[in-house]
Chains A and B, each alone.
Chain A
């Protein structure tokens, strides 16, 4: 991760706050009267879910937030490098049976993380419906999974890297698009 790269700031803290507000509005509009629970994917999906849940309290909607660690559901176990996954564990302290679940991740890319998360969710119960909310959709899906709620759609190339930083997880706030210099790109 130390190779030279261009960094372009895509969302500043205010734009992230607007994005969170936008997700909250969309969810309130479509889920209003239903029994709804949020589940965030570790780590930043959890932060996003908590922020949207906090925003919805302003609309008089209180949704519980669970957390999901998808490491044990991934399909790239054989391809792990020297970075061994430290498991964060999942915490879904409510029943998912028969309710409407909104799954949160900060970025959707290939869709494989979401695929793993769906498997994980099903092991906690049988929701009536599962939807997906993301802060950034950067394209390049490898499986047919699409988000239902999106704050920002971003055209990217595969070489680029979308980096979301949240105050709670990273000590700073912003979304950047990082492009490796051509000379060092594989």
Chain B
């Protein structure tokens, strides 16, 4: 038993206290053990409903939440709003009213605008889980990254992770770096100058080249996805140029192997951009582990949050 304040929503990493983070990460371990059984399901959330509300397409995250909810025996409804019918202002509140009427216990929401999950959380008794909002936050990604890194490095404090890519537009970079920093893991960044924000995350060491990265001796290299759909050609000259400067190629892979550095990526991977085909087969790639841990962490999150629909 750990005494924690009941928490209704998971909106970002900044608002979490260390005991809460430990609670989720340690409970995720027994959830992951369930995946080894032939019956992977437990009845913990039987009779509860989880609404997956996705305003942005995301097969991976929404499936991961769906599998997590299913394995807890909750009923899941997927509600995907096409990105063309962007919902703003009043219509968002209308949507919330509709959701209230559906009496969901948990709402998993992804939205292209930062802060939407917070607004929804304020207007509903359901527990709201932010599954990514604009450039703001993606807390369950951060938790699954922490779980994955801690599995390979149980002595994680003081270890180093370099995040490579588009830091500016990445809610993953933001949430994961914040969580790693809270856990005492050192974070550095490498990316095109136009895509690395100045000032906001002072704890992140700024590296300027792969040579500097390897001199820094990271324990893991965390590649961000180049979000081709968001900014092609605006922030860097082109895909080939990006690959040449920041991608993991044969030479860089060889140096990672020398260091024993692990490879992480939130997926989906752009082969030939962030990473070559060969590097995808790297023996220290944690990409598939991240997917598996994502389900375990999301189960732990749903199990931890306490909707106000519980108490009448």
B260 CB-CB contact with A under 8 Å:
no
Q: Are A83 and B2 in contact (CB under 8 A)?
A: yes
A80 / chain B contacts, CB cutoff of 8 Å: 306
A71-89, CB under 8 A of B: which get 1 and which 0? 1111001101011111111
Closest to B1 in A: A83
Q: Are B29 and A82 in contact (CB under 8 A)?
A: no
Residues 76-123 of A contacting B (Cβ, < 8 Å)? 77-78, 80, 82-91, 119-120, 123
Q: Are A85 and B1 in contact (CB under 8 A)?
A: yes
Q: Are B44 and A89 in contact (CB under 8 A)?
A: no
B311 / chain A contacts, CB cutoff of 8 Å: 78
Cα–Cα distance between A147 and B41 once the two chains are bound (Å): 27
Residues 47-96 of B contacting A (Cβ, < 8 Å)? 72
Binding site for A on B (CB under 8 A): 1-6, 23, 26-27, 29-31, 33, 37, 39, 41-45, 72, 303-304, 306, 310-311
By Cβ-Cβ distance, the 8 closest A-B pairs, closest first, are: A89-B30, A72-B42, A123-B39, A87-B30, A72-B44, A83-B1, A87-B27, A78-B310
Q: Are A82 and B27 in contact (CB under 8 A)?
A: no
Query: Count of chain A residues with Cβ under 8 Å from any Cβ of B?
Result: 22
A69 CB-CB contact with B under 8 Å:
yes
Binding site for B on A (CB under 8 A): 69, 71-74, 77-78, 80, 82-91, 119-120, 123-124
A85 / chain B contacts, CB cutoff of 8 Å: 1
Cα–Cα distance between A88 and B43 once the two chains are bound (Å): 16
Partner among B1, B42, B310 whose Cβ is within 8 Å of the Cβ of A84:
B1
Q: Are A123 and B37 in contact (CB under 8 A)?
A: yes
Question: Can you report 30 residue pairs joining A to B where beta carbons are below 8 Å apart?
Answer: A69-B30, A72-B42, A72-B43, A72-B44, A72-B72, A72-B303, A74-B44, A77-B44, A77-B45, A78-B310, A80-B306, A82-B4, A82-B5, A82-B6, A83-B1, A83-B2, A84-B6, A84-B23, A84-B304, A85-B1, A86-B23, A86-B26, A86-B27, A87-B26, A87-B31, A89-B29, A90-B30, A119-B43, A123-B37, A123-B39
Partner among B2, B30, B31, B37 whose Cβ is within 8 Å of the Cβ of A88:
B30
A78 / chain B contacts, CB cutoff of 8 Å: 310-311
